[in-house]
């Protein structure tokens, strides 16, 4: 039986991506692997877990999300739940949005004058859309022809001094990053619930691998039970 090594510098796409920031994916999912309900309710984390996530956010240079997450959840992606004694620092927000579809009234765009914001687009984004985002105060990075080229984007982020990037979904972005060998760590909170629903989004979407041999291998770093609850936090390193 053939065995294929899918290390982070030997991605499944066959190309390597050197000189990029350290990338951590963080997500909360139900026990059946859903990151949102069929009606797109994605509030799976307890207050304790939110404090952990916001503490993690304040330790990285950038927080990255896919455009669908912005369109569906309208997140702020700043640090709100860290405790008062901790140093609170908002990371730069990076939205992966090939066509510059992000709404100018979204929480991210409405606050991009006070919290650094990058919208990563492809060459397919219209000049008018790009101009509107820049006029609002966002930085626009053009990376990729039809879709955002994630390796190119990460290399650009590294070039402007970003050493650590936290990815907060959704499933499509998680898939692309994992498949391209661009992820170093995966932190998953398992909420003690079952959501079901064949159209409910899962932790990793995309086309998927055809066999276990092709799967991305992980090595367990830590398992933690969240204080005062039944949540479990799984911390893996990508091999």
Ligand X SMILES: NC(=O)c1ccc[n+]([C@@H]2O[C@H](COP(=O)([O-])OP(=O)(O)OC[C@H]3O[C@@H](n4cnc5c(N)ncnc54)[C@H](OP(=O)(O)O)[C@@H]3O)[C@@H](O)[C@H]2O)c1
> Which chain residues interact with ligand X by CB under 6 A?
27-28, 35-36, 40, 42, 44, 65-69, 72-73, 96-99, 101, 147-148, 150, 168-173, 176, 201, 205
Q: Give the other-Cβ count within 10 Å of 13's Cβ.
A: 13
Q: What is the rounded distance in angstroms from the CA atom of residue 175 to the CA atom of residue 206?
A: 6
DSSP track, 96-131: E-TT----TTSHHHHTTTTS-EEEEE-TTS-HHHHH
Q: Toward ligand X, which CB reaches closer, 146 or 213? A: 146
Please report how close the Cβ of residue 122 comes to ligand X at its closest, in angstroms. 7
Q: What is the rounded distance in angstroms from the CA atom of residue 59 to the CA atom of residue 65?
A: 17
Q: Toward ligand X, which CB reaches closer, 100 or 112? A: 100
Please report how close the Cβ of residue 152 comes to ligand X at its closest, in angstroms. 10
Please report how close the Cβ of residue 113 comes to ligand X at its closest, in angstroms. 24
**Would you state the structure tokens that stand for residue 150, as one six-digit string?**
């994630």
Please report how close the Cβ of residue 64 comes to ligand X at its closest, in angstroms. 10
| Residue whose CB is nearest to ligand X in the complex, by number | 170
Q: Toward ligand X, which CB reaches closer, 98 or 129? A: 98
Q: What is the rounded distance in angstroms from the CA atom of residue 127 to the CA atom of residue 133?
A: 10
Q: What is the rounded distance in angstroms from the CA atom of residue 145 to the CA atom of residue 219?
A: 34
Please report how close the Cβ of residue 178 comes to ligand X at its closest, in angstroms. 10
Q: Toward ligand X, which CB reaches closer, 54 or 213? A: 54
Q: Toward ligand X, which CB reaches closer, 61 or 205? A: 205
Among 1, 87, 71, 80, which Cα is nearest to 36's?
A: 71
């Amino acid at each position: 039986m053939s065995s294929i090594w899918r290390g982070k510098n030997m991605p499944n796409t066959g190309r390597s991506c050197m000189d990029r920031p350290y990338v951590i994916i963080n997500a909360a999912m139900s026990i059946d692997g859903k990151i949102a309900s069929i009606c797109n309710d994605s509030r799976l984390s307890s207050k304790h877990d939110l404090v952990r996530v916001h503490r993690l956010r304040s330790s990285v240079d950038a927080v990255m999300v896919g455009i669908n997450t912005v369109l569906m959840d309208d997140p702020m992606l700043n640090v709100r739940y860290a405790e008062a004694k901790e140093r609170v620092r908002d990371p730069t927000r990076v939205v992966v949005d090939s066509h510059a579809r992000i709404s100018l009234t979204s929480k991210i765009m409405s606050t991009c004058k006070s919290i650094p914001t990058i919208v990563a687009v492809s060459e397919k984004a219209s000049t008018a859309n790009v101009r509107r985002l820049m006029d609002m105060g966002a930085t626009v990075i053009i990376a990729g022809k039809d879709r955002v080229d994630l390796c190119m984007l990460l290399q650009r982020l590294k070039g402007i001094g970003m050493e650590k990037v936290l990815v907060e979904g959704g499933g499509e972005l998680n898939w692309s990053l994992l498949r391209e060998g661009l992820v170093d760590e995966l932190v998953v909170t398992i909420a003690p619930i079952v959501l079901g629903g064949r159209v409910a989004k899962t932790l990793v979407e995309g086309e998927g691998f055809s066999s276990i041999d092709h799967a991305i291998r992980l090595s367990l770093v830590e398992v933690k039970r969240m204080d005062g609850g039944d949540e479990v936090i799984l911390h893996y390193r990508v091999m």
